[in-house]
A = this chain, B = another copy of it.
Amino acid sequence: MNEQVKAYGLEEAIAAVAAHGSITEIYFVACGGSYALLQEGQYVVDREAKSIASFGYSSAEFLARTPARLGKNSLVITCSHSGNTPETVAATSYARKAGALTISLTNLAGSPLDEATENTVFYEWDPVAVTDKHNSVMLLLLVLGILQKLEGNDKIELVKKAVPALHEMGETLKQKYAAAAAEFGESHKREPVIYTMASGANHSTAYAFAICLLQEMQWVHSACIHSGEYFHGPFEITDFDTPIIILKGLGNARKMDERALAFAEKYSKRLSVLDAEDFGLEAVAGEAAEYITPIMFNLVLRLYAIELGDRRGHPLTVRRYMWRMEY
């Protein structure tokens, strides 16, 4: 796998961090779906790093905050699929000017982001298939590769061993959840509001589903509720007809999801539950399984969104503002 990965810039980016020698903090900066993606990486650093601090910001917020600490001990990881997101390109340029090391993930060589950054990691992305160059896979290998170099963390070995199994796992899950996705689409096609709920590694997955799949691609009202925050406000919105998609993760965060689900089950008859324990990730990734859950949740949730769009006669590709005007 190493030979292939190298052509995508992954090994070079990790080597650049190691060569730099004094990175003590990592900023994860992007917009929308890419911001959600990078939060998967931030979660890993938070859980694993012994001494490296990590922060997540939406690109425009990062530019507005201009943290005074940002400088030569900072690594700024940015991401834009098209490489054209203006705020993310600007954030990358700003970070470089502040003396930070920059690594950017993108699908497009020669894009403004690829030009603006010091180190580019390219990825591939198919919303309905997992490959070993998948954006989440590349990000996971990047952050764990960095933690291996800087702190001797060895979780990357577990992930490298698991990656070749992920494509097949994804194909199996697509079959396994096809009927449930179709049922979700049919039974939710008239819902004006659909909530998503998760925590830990999957909180940003639920966020992405709420803002990109439901709000953006379906024009369906949505909000992402954090399973741990549910009991401190949002749970009062729960009623027999409140639709909530609940993601049950792995690892320490799982108990938050379980508690929220146990409560929601008592008062809503409109829950859709996806449980990472049904994915078979622990068998292939061991203690790193938690970090791979967003990949499989994103895949299964995509099926749900496609079926919803199909039943609503509203394909996921339709927009009313994006691609249609300047803003």
Contacts and interface: CB of A to CB of B under 8 A. Distances in A.
Interface of A: 25, 31-33, 35, 43, 46-53, 55, 58-61, 63-69, 85, 87, 192-193, 199-200, 203, 210-212, 215-217, 219-229, 231-239, 251-253, 255-256, 263, 267, 319-322, 327
A64 B216 CA distance: 31
A49 B67 CA distance: 8
A50 B85 CA distance: 29
A252 B66 contact: yes
Given A25-B53, A47-B65, A193-B221, A233 B211 contact: yes
A69 B87 contact: no
Contact of A236 (B64, B219, B231, B263): B219
Nearest to A62: B228
Contacts of A222: 223
Contacts of A321: 235-236, 238, 263, 267
A230 B56 CA distance: 17
Contact of A252 (B65, B216, B234, B320): B65
Contacts of A53: 25, 53, 55, 69
Given A46-B65, A49-B68, A53-B69, A35 B236 contact: no
Contacts of A239: 219
A233 B216 contact: yes
Contacts of A200: 61, 64-65
Contacts of A210: 223
Nearest to A319: B236
Given A200-B61, A252-B65, A256-B61, A327 B263 contact: yes
A215 B192 contact: no
Contacts of A67: 46-47, 49
B327 A231 contact: yes
A87 B223 contact: no
A35 B232 contact: yes
Contact of A233 (B66, B215, B256): B215
Contact of A211 (B65, B220, B232): B232
A217 B237 CA distance: 9
Nearest to A24: B53
A60 B236 contact: no
Nearest to A88: B232
A49 to B, nearest CB: 6
B215 A234 contact: yes
A228 B322 contact: no
